[in-house]
Structure 1
Amino acid sequence: MTEPRCTALVLAASRGSLDPLAQAGGVSHKCFIDIAGQPMLRRVVGAVLESGRAKRTIVLIEQESIEEAKAILAGLPGAEHITYMPSQDNIGSSVAAVAAPDMLPLVITTGDNALHTGEMFGFFCDALDGLTDDVAVGLTPATYVLEKYPDGNRAFHRFRDGAYSSCNLYAILTPHGIEGAQVFKSGGQFGKKPRRLIGAFGLFAFLLYRSRLFTLRTVLQTLSRGIGVRTAPVLMPYAEGPIDVDRPVDWELSNRIIAAREAAG
């Protein structure tokens, strides 16, 4: 097994108290919905633990949901070492409340990435070796996603050299990179809600991004200069990486993919 060397942070807070997926699933929290026989949070955290890369795993979720989350994750190999912390008002504040220099590299994922596997998480962690940037972001080329799931309705970031979708995998690599978490105070989801880029990075960065005249790396370099944090892309060769469970159609697709994956062994 590869030596554990990162801190894993699973952001599991819901975006609203009346999440429609939680209501449809008959559970108290979106991350507790059933995905092919297991609660979604158990699948996500199980993938992190299975990767063997995390020396410490932290789950951030609403205070009132912590005990239920503990019960759901009980029995996973290594579950007794998971740390639970209450989430804050937004992603940026939640990360800032946890991130500290002695936790770096800090690898961040979300509680609704039900299709992530230990292999995916491990690939991202391994790709961080040798990077000298402050933060890193995992992206899958759109060609990978659409080739395997042609009807997949994903939010793609489009550039001159192609389109990409976020895998909800981020890494803070340096103490200076902790400051980069502040761009998520608006809520993130820049692919689905690109106008949030204006508040996070400024109007010029937004116009540069929307023009599609520049490559992914050029735009990332410009965004990095705007916030003073160097950002590296990590290209992920997994079509399922960007498929999170935000809508009923995603829930149905994730159920089908995991059921087929487990049937195939």
Structure 2
Amino acid sequence: MTGTVSAILLAGARPIPDPLAKAAGVAVKPLVPVAGEPMINRPARALLDHPTIGEVIILTQRPDAYAAEPATAWLADHPRVRFETGGQGIASSLLAMMEARALAFPVLLTTADHVLLDRAMLDQFVGEAQGADIAVAMVERATLVARYPQSRRTWLKFRDGGWSGANLFWIGSDRARRAIALWQEVEQDRKKGWKILAAFGPLALIGALLRISTLRGGMARAGRRLGLEARLVAMASPEACIDADKAEDVTLIEAILAAR
């Protein structure tokens, strides 16, 4: 399946100034230097170097910022990279691209701060997400703590463990539009978030709250409720959930890169 997966690299800016970007004196967070180069360069190269990835779409409100920066100008010139100007939210931007038929499925989505993204992570995720309409990569708490006990993450607690997002998402078909539309509602009005959860069914919601539901089972049931196949990919690499979100993350990532 050489070159059959499209990739979206999220490189947008939040409405409020990002602390890392402000401290580094750069226009947007993906230009913040990590281990000597803008953080976006490493995940971009990982995607372009992977045999299953064809086109890489960089979704951002500031494509000019990357073309103007000498260290990232190569992205603007690369034949397999194109820039798309994003809107106010990720979900709304994805839906607009799907509406305009500007996406070829399947699509792998990741973020510019996923600096440690590598071949092994992509191999596992693409391999296990194949055939799903929606797939989400997560890291179980024990996997991370065994290697990096100092790394602080936000954990979702279920009967099958605590889970943290790995910034890898799979959009396998146009049926995923239903899930992305729900995501858009949460983005637009986070106060409606509990209503979105309730839409998956009261038993699913109560089960999650009481930790009597597994994340794998809950995702599968939520997908069936939407008429699609949703899948959890439990990542083997603890580094999969370490993104460059805070200064302490950057310090840890640079130590990991130096050890490699």
TM-score normalised by L of structure 1: 0.85
**Structure 2 partner of 1:32:** 31
User: Once the two structures are superposed, what CA deviation does each residue of 1:46-94 show, in whole Å capped at 9, x if it has no partner?
Assistant: 11112222111100011xx212323543446x92320101111111101
Q: How does 1:85-164 map to 2 (within 5 A)?
A: 85-99=84-98, 100=101, 103-129=104-130, 131=131, 133-164=132-163
Q: Does the Cα contact within 8 Å between 2:129 and 2:231 map onto a contact in 1?
A: no
Matched, 1:201 2:197: yes
Q: Which moved more, 1:175-184 or 1:159-168?
A: 175-184
For 1:97 and 1:112, locate their aligned partners in 2 and report how far apart those are by CA, in whole Å. Answer: 23
For 1:122 and 1:75, locate their aligned partners in 2 and report how far apart those are by CA, in whole Å. Answer: 25
Equivalent AA in structure 2 for residue 39 of structure 1: P
Q: Does the Cα contact within 8 Å between 2:156 and 2:162 map onto a contact in 1?
A: yes
Q: Does the Cα contact within 8 Å between 2:55 and 2:81 map onto a contact in 1?
A: yes
For 1:199 and 1:230, locate their aligned partners in 2 and report how far apart those are by CA, in whole Å. Answer: 21
Return closer, same or farther for 1:168/1:196 CA change in 2, 3 Å cut-off: farther
Q: How does 1:1-265 map to 2 (within 5 A)?
A: 3-62=2-61, 65-70=62-67, 71=69, 72-75=71-74, 79-99=78-98, 100=101, 103-129=104-130, 131=131, 133-185=132-184, 186-187=186-187, 197-202=193-198, 204=202, 205-261=204-260
Q: Does the Cα contact within 8 Å between 2:48 and 2:54 map onto a contact in 1?
A: no
Equivalent AA in structure 2 for residue 249 of structure 1: E
Q: Does the Cα contact within 8 Å between 1:12 and 1:59 map onto a contact in 2?
A: yes
TM-superposed CA distance for 1:197, in Å, is 4.4
Q: Which moved more, 1:171-180 or 1:222-231?
A: 222-231
TM-superposed CA distance for 1:168, in Å, is 1.0
Gaps of 5+ in 2: none
Give the secondary-structure state (helix, strand or coil) at the position aligned to 1:127.
helix
TM-score normalised by L of structure 2: 0.87
TM-superposed CA distance for 1:12, in Å, is 1.1
TM-superposed CA distance for 1:28, in Å, is 0.9
TM-superposed CA distance for 1:196, in Å, is 7.1
Give the secondary-structure state (helix, strand or coil) at the position aligned to 2:242.
coil
For 1:120 and 1:229, locate their aligned partners in 2 and report how far apart those are by CA, in whole Å. Answer: 24
Equivalent AA in structure 2 for residue 244 of structure 1: D
User: Once the two structures are superposed, what CA deviation does each residue of 1:184-226 show, in whole Å capped at 9, x if it has no partner?
Assistant: 32349xxxx9x87424332735443222111122211333244
User: Once the two structures are superposed, what CA deviation does each residue of 1:130-150 show, in whole Å capped at 9, x if it has no partner?
Assistant: x3x321111122111110001
Gaps of 5+ in 1: none
Give the secondary-structure state (helix, strand or coil) at the position aligned to 2:176.
helix
Q: Give the total of aligned pairs.
A: 251
Q: Which moved more, 1:29-38 or 1:44-53?
A: 44-53
RMSD in angstroms over aligned alpha carbons?
2.5
TM-superposed CA distance for 1:125, in Å, is 1.3
